[in-house]
Amino acid sequence: MFGGSDPNVPKLVSTGITIRHNTISRPMAWITQGWTVKNLLEFKNAQDVMVEGNIIENHWVGGQQGSAIVLTPRNQSNTAPWTVVRNITPQNNVIRHVSSGFNILGYDTSRSGNAYRTDGVDIKASTDPGGGYLVGWTTAGEWMKYSVQAPAAGTFAIDVRVASSGAGGAFHIEIDGVNVTGAMTAPDTGGWQTYTTITKTGVAVTAGPRIVRLMMDAVGASGSVANFNWIAFR
C-alpha cells in the first residue's frame, strides 16, 4: 500500500516508484481459515509509478472487494488534502485468480468533518468565538455559492474569517459571476481553528437578489486554501 495513514510531512506524495518482477500473492488455503484479506496492491497517495512484469494473484472478496490493484486517492485522516494518485502505469503483468483486476476511483469519495450535513461538503464544528461550523479541506477549483438579497445599492467591505496551519492559499469572491475582490490570500494563523479576519473594501453592490460565490484559486504551503468560518458584508 502506498498511502493510508496521512504523512506528517506537508505535501508529501510517494513519487518515482517501480514495482517489477515480483509475485504478490497469498495462500488460497486462507479462504477456509477465517483470515480477513484486503486488496493485493493499493495506491492511495502516489504518483509516477511503474508496475511491470509482476504476478498478482489469489484474492477474493473479504475485508474488501477482491480487486488485484486499487487506485483511490485518500485523505485518510483528514490532514492531507494534497493527496493524489496519478501517472500509474501497469504493463505486462499476470493477474489471475482474483475477484476483479482493477478498482479505480478518480476522486476521494470520503467526506471530511462529517458535521451538520450528510452530503459531500467538508464541514466541521468551529471553535471560533460564536461557534457555528467551518468549511475546510478546501482545494483549488472548489467553490461555495450563496443567494443573498441586497435591500439597497451601496459600497461594502467584505470580511472573510479564515484559519490555516501554515501559509494558506488564494481565493476570491464573485457577485453574479464578476470577481469583485481580486486575489485574497489566507495567512498562516497558527492553526486550523485559530482564526483571523481579512477584509476587502470598496465593493459596489447593486440592489436586489445577488449570487455570491467564494472561489478557491490555489492551495498554499499548508496543502489547503484555508478553513472558512463566515463571510460578512458591512
pLDDT in tens, 57-96: 998 887 677 788 989 888 777 677 778 888 999 999 999 9
pLDDT reported for residue 204: 96
Q: Is the pTM of this model over 0.75?
A: no
pLDDT block averages, 10 residues each, the chain of length 234: 77 92 92 83 92 92 79 77 86 91 72 65 88 89 91 95 95 96 96 96 95 93 92 94
Q: Are 59 and 30 in contact (CB under 8 A)?
A: no
pLDDT reported for residue 2: 75
pLDDT reported for residue 189: 96
**H-run or E-run covering 153:** none
* 40 and 83 share one domain: yes
Give the C-alpha separation, 225 to 218, whole Å.
6
| Structural domain containing residue 78 | 14-104
Q: Alpha-carbon dihedral of residues 199, 174, 171, 76, nearest 10 degrees?
A: 120
Give the C-alpha separation, 219 to 169, whole Å.
4
Task: Classify residue 117: in a domain, yes or no.
Answer: no
Task: Classify residue 59: in a domain, yes or no.
Answer: yes
* 152 and 206 share one domain: yes
Give the C-alpha separation, 169 to 226, whole Å.
7
Name the DSSP class of 2.
Answer: B
pLDDT reported for residue 62: 75
* 129 and 225 share one domain: yes
* 176 and 89 share one domain: no
Q: Are 225 and 219 in contact (CB under 8 A)?
A: yes
* 73 and 19 share one domain: yes
pLDDT reported for residue 78: 66
Task: Classify residue 118: in a domain, yes or no.
Answer: no
Residue identified by cell 478518480 is: 106
pLDDT reported for residue 112: 65
Task: Classify residue 110: in a domain, yes or no.
Answer: no
What's the number of domains the chain is made of? 2
